[in-house]
Amino acid sequence: MCLALPSRVVALLDDDQAKVDLGGVTKSVSLSLVEGVQVGDYVIVHVGYALTKVDPAEAQKTLALFAEMQAAGQSA
């Protein structure tokens, strides 16, 4: 199963790269597949590539849902 989560862009780097944050974990990803990404945008990241930009409200809903599922799994 593949899982791609919204990640917030925290810095733009050289060579179509960006640093993204997902729950305190940061990593560099390629922006070569997405145009017009700015710091603060949310992108869907899969295997090191940003695939698309995501509306911030939708990104927050998705992240909240995953946090809820994680909390439910820990209390079970």
CATH of the domain at 64: 2.30.30.140
Query: What domain range includes position 64?
Result: 5-75
Tens digits of residue pLDDT in 11-23: 999 999 999 998 8
Alpha carbon distance 71, 56 (integer Å) = 22
Q: Which residue has the higher pLDDT, 75 or 25?
A: 25
Q: Position of tokens 């560099």?
A: 28
Q: How far is CA 32 from CA 22, 40, 56, 59, in A?
A: 20, 17, 21, 21
Predicted confidence at residue 75, as pLDDT, reads 66
**How many domains, in total, are found in the chain?**
1
- Predicted TM-score (pTM) of the model is 0.84
Q: Are 45 and 20 in contact (CB under 8 A)?
A: yes
